[in-house]
Amino acid sequence: MTGLKLSNWCLAGILPVSSGRIVPEVLAGLTLAAIAIPEVMGYTKIAGTPVITGLYTLLLPMALFSLFGSSRHLVVGADSATAAILATSIAGMAATGSAHYLALAGFLALMVGVLLIAASVARIGFMADFLSRTVLTGFLTGVGIQVALHSLSGMTGITLPHADGLESIAQLLPLLSSANLTATIIALGVLVIIFGLKFISKTIPGAIVALALATIASRYLDLKSGLSVVGSVPHGLPDLSLPKVDWSLSLIWQLGPTALAMLMVILAQSAATARAYAAKYEENLDESTDLRALGLANLGAGLTGTFVVNGSPTKSQMVESAGGRSQLSMLVTSAVVLLVLLFFTGLLADLPEAALSALVFTIGVDLIDLKGLRQIYRTRRPEFWVSMATIIVVVAAGVGPGIVLAIMMSLIVHTRHGYRPVNLLLTSDAAGIWHARPLKSLAFAASGVMIYRFTHSMYYANADRMAVEIRKLTTQRNEGLRYFCVDISCVDDVDFTALQTLKTLREELAEKNVELLFAHMLDDPGAHSRLQLVEAFGEKKVLATIEEVLTYTQSSVGKSGQGSASS
């Protein structure tokens, strides 16, 4: 009973746990550590922060989500998309990798944490649905291309000022003749090992094998004299403190758009991943609890000197493949990272920077979702071009403008679906079964009665379309028309603009001696949309069912039957 009460506010992603599950969870946690430790070190190259900060994302932030989240499968840590957004947003505010740069990254993590907690309180996790899969695929593919292109300079040992995408290539090409041959060979070797081992088996931690071999070569072949290496890495636990920045409204205002962009990416990636696994294993999921836990994880990141963390679809899949079925696996990973921080950071000193850059290149390649793009192209050609537009903007203009475009495109795609609903006319056959007919049929439902089904919520974006369709129907088929009924079975809300449009249409139809009625095919007198229309037009004009409409009109029009257009 105590465990049940405890899981109401923490450990929901861990409890219950049986003794038979402990060994598989520990093995999954060790597997994740072997894969995630080198990967998060690579993310620091994207974010522009010291290598040690990648390990910090797997310590307190991962542990906080494991303890306070409801998802049993979502893995939280450093992420390439948010790391790329971070780098592009604060690169012009401080020197990359400097103490001030790191402080700004921590401050941004605190801002994102507060926004996530606010989102959990306001229960606005549904905002994740507004970043469509189509646009998210394009955005992450663009980020992958950006990351891969940006890593080329490190792989060749060429130092460049901060640049994004095509700009980095333009700066790199004239300098290729001065590439560091040793760095290039090591980078290519790392790529061969990672991709080769992945081809053999995806369960082999190719990244850690490749980085270990590169470190051994650097140390024992005495390559450090002509090769950039990670150098001394501090050991021990991170300091728990507030970022040393100018805490002012101007800084919050300056970083606000970046924090909001990160919020949207975190909402979309984390929510989608958590939902997928909860559905697969038929588990309960509380999105507000997960948002709060993600907020706590980012507060932990900001207080321990690292950058924004996010739910990772790839790491979540890795843990599941390794047999992990709860957040206990992630606590094991955090424990392994703790041991590395306390005793083994010295092993990282001789790690070549070119090897890390090569790892970053593989991360970028993994983000390029050609399979997803092909599927979108075959299924929805217009949405494919939306994805391509997002990719082009991310690669050409950077991740910041790309996420703004992604959000705008998602909202446009969403609005487009509601702006152009496919509306219908209803008719019945001799057996009394209702059928949908296209608007061009001008079909009557009964003598003098036309029933028009609107197939979306009525709001400002589609109100004019509705008015145009109703005017066209009542003008072209005005002879003999006495009642025009709007079927609101598919309408769950009517906003102010749509309501005013309907009132105007009522007056226009009255001038044509046509009475405007409403009906609800689903026989739900308590429906919200029906109550809205009752308040505006009166109880007598808003009928519970279409059958009631026919009964209402029968006394004045005559026996109900099929109109000539439907006969």
pLDDT tens per residue across span 175-197: 778 888 999 999 999 999 999 99
109-113: average pLDDT:
97
How confident is the model over 452-488, as pLDDT tens digits?
A: 999 998 998 899 999 999 999 999 867 889 999 999 8
Q: Are strands 449-453 and 483-487 parallel, antiparallel or unpaired?
A: parallel
Per-residue pLDDT, 563: 42
Phi-psi label, residue 384: left if phi above 0, alpha if psi -120 to 50, beta otherwise: alpha
8 A C-beta contact, residue 411 and residue 177: no
Q: CA of 176: how far to CAs of 181, 182, 186, 192, 504, in Å?
A: 10, 14, 16, 21, 69
**Could you tell me the residue ranges of all domains in the chain?**
2-415, 424-557
Compute CA 120 distance to the chain's CA centroid, rounded to the nearest angstrom: 16
Compute CA 181 distance to the chain's CA centroid, rounded to the nearest angstrom: 40
- Secondary structure (DSSP) of 368-389: --HHHHHHHHHH-HHHHHHHHH
Mean pLDDT of the chain: 87
Backbone angles phi, psi at 86, to 5 degrees: -60, -50
Per-residue pLDDT, 567: 35
Q: Give every CB contact of residue 317 below 8 A, 6+ residues apart in sequence.
A: none
Per-residue pLDDT, 561: 42
Q: How many Cβ atoms are within 10 Å of 222's Cβ, its own excluded? A: 10
The pLDDT-based confidence of 109 (bands split at 50, 70, 90) is very high
Least confident of 352-356, 450-454, 539-543: 539-543
pTM of the model: 0.77
Per-residue pLDDT, 163: 59
8 A C-beta contact, residue 211 and residue 359: yes
Identify the architecture of domain 424-557 in CATH. Answer: 2-Layer Sandwich (3.30)
Backbone angles phi, psi at 344, to 5 degrees: -125, 10
